[in-house]
Amino acid sequence: MVDELPLPLDEDAGGLPVPRRLPWLRTLLLWVVPALVLALALAWYATGGRYVSTDNAYVQQDRVDVAPQLTANVRAVLAGENQLVAAGMRILVLDDVDQQLALRQAQADLASAHAEVEGLKASWREKLGELQVARRTAAYMVRDYQRQQELAGRHLVADITVDNAHRDADTALGNAQVLELQLAEARARLAGNPDLPADQHPTVRAAAAVVERARLDLAHTVIQAPQTGVVSHLPKVGDRAIAGEACFAIVVDQQPWVEANFKETDLGEVRAGQSVSVKVDTYGSRRWQGRVESIAQATGAEFALLPPQNASGNWVKVVQRIPVRIRLDTRPGDPPLRAGMSANVEIDTGAHSRLAAWLGRSG
C-alpha cells in the first residue's frame, strides 16, 4: 500500500494545508458549460420563429371628419363633447342670414323668368296673328295688281295705277316676310317650341336650379352626424366654420381593430387569417383574440408626406415597418377600447421553425 503524499502547507495561511486543484473542474467551467449554453441558445433560436410580435401597435376605430359645405359663423352647438350621437342627429347650426337672402333672390328671379316666358308666348301669338293678317293683305294686293295689269292691257286704267298696285303688292309681301322673321325669332326665344310649358323653358329651369341651389345651401347650415359614434372637437358658438375644413369628428364606437407595424423581416410567414393575441397596455395582462385581416401593400414610409429618396447618395439601409390590420374578437362585457391605445401583438404563424426555413422546408 502506497502512502498518500502529504498536502503542502501554506505558510501565509498559518501553516494550513493547500487544497489540491481539480483540472476537470476548470475544463468544465471554461469549455463545457459555455458550449452547453451556446448549444441550448442555438437550439432555442432554431426551433423558434412560430410567433412574431411587436409593441408598435395601436387600437384603431373608424373616424369621420365632418366639414361644412359653406363658410359661416356657428350659431348653435346641439351636442356635448364626447357625447354618443346617432346618425342624422343635428350637431351644429350655422348662421343662415346670407342663405335666406340668396333663396329669396333666387325665388324672385324664378318668378321673373316665368313672367318673361309668358311674355314671349304672348308676343309669339301676337306676331302669329299679325302674320296671318299680313299674308291675307299681301294676297289681296297681288290679286289687285294682277287685275290692274289686265285692265292696263285693255287700256282701261292708267299706267300709274298699275305702278301703285305693284308697289302696294311688294310692300304687303315685304311686311309678311318681316313678320315671318320676327316670328322665327320669337320661336327661337321659346326654345323652338311655342307650346313648351313655361316650367320646361331653359330660362325657367336655370332659375329653378338656382333656387334649388339656394335651398341646398340653406339646408347645409344645419350639420348632422353622418354616422353613429362619439362626437369630439366641437367648435364653440361664434367660431368661424370654413367650408371644406373639418369642424368636428365622429369616432365610430363599433368594431375596433388593431394596426400593428411589424418589421419587414418578421412578415415572411404572416398570412391573412392567422390567429393573433393582443394585449392592450391600459388593461394590463388582459388579452383579446383576433385574426390577421390584411397586410398593407406598402411600407409606412411610402405614405409619408416626404417619402425617402432611396436613390440618393447618402442612403442608409433601415428595416422598414409594414402595417398589418388585425380584426379583434370583442365580447359583451369587454372593457372599452379607444382609438390610439397602445397594444402588444403576437401572431401565431403556424407550426414551423427557423431551422425548417434554413433547410428549405418552410410551409
Q: What is the pLDDT of residues 186-223, one digit of tens each?
A: 888 888 888 888 888 888 999 999 999 999 999 999 99
> Looking at residues 167-182, what average pLDDT do you find?
88
Confidence (pLDDT) at 5:
47
Confidence (pLDDT) at 363:
47
pLDDT tens digit sequence for 243-267: 999 999 999 878 899 999 999 988 8
Report which of 306, 247, 295, 300 is spatially closest to residue 270, judged by C-alpha positions.
Answer: 295
Q: What angle do CA 10, 11, 12 make, to 5 degrees?
A: 90
- pLDDT higher than threshold 90 for residue 57: yes
Confidence (pLDDT) at 148:
83
- pLDDT higher than threshold 80 for residue 315: no
> Looking at residues 77-95, what average pLDDT do you find?
94
Any idea which residue has 364626447 for its cell? Answer: 82
Of residues 72 and 192, the one with the higher pLDDT is 72
Amino acid at 271: R
CA-CA distance, 181 to 193, in Å (whole number)? 16
C-alpha cell recorded at residue 351: 407550426
3-state secondary structure of 97: helix
Confidence (pLDDT) at 356:
61
Angle between helices 159-189 and 97-153 (to 10 degrees): 160
C-alpha cell recorded at residue 40: 441550448
How high does pLDDT run on average in the chain? 85
Burial 148-174 (b: 16+ CB within 10 A, else e): beeebeeeebeeeebeebbebbeebbe
Confidence (pLDDT) at 343:
94
C-alpha cell recorded at residue 45: 433560436
Beta carbons within 8 Å of 18's beta carbon, 6+ residues apart: 7, 8, 9, 10
pLDDT tens digit sequence for 145-157: 888 888 878 877 7
The pLDDT > 70 percentage for the chain reads 88
- pLDDT higher than threshold 50 for residue 182: yes
CA-CA distance, 203 to 117, in Å (whole number)? 8
Confidence (pLDDT) at 1:
42
pLDDT tens digit sequence for 14-40: 555 555 556 777 777 777 778 788 877
Confidence (pLDDT) at 358:
56
pTM: 0.66
C-alpha cell recorded at residue 110: 324664378
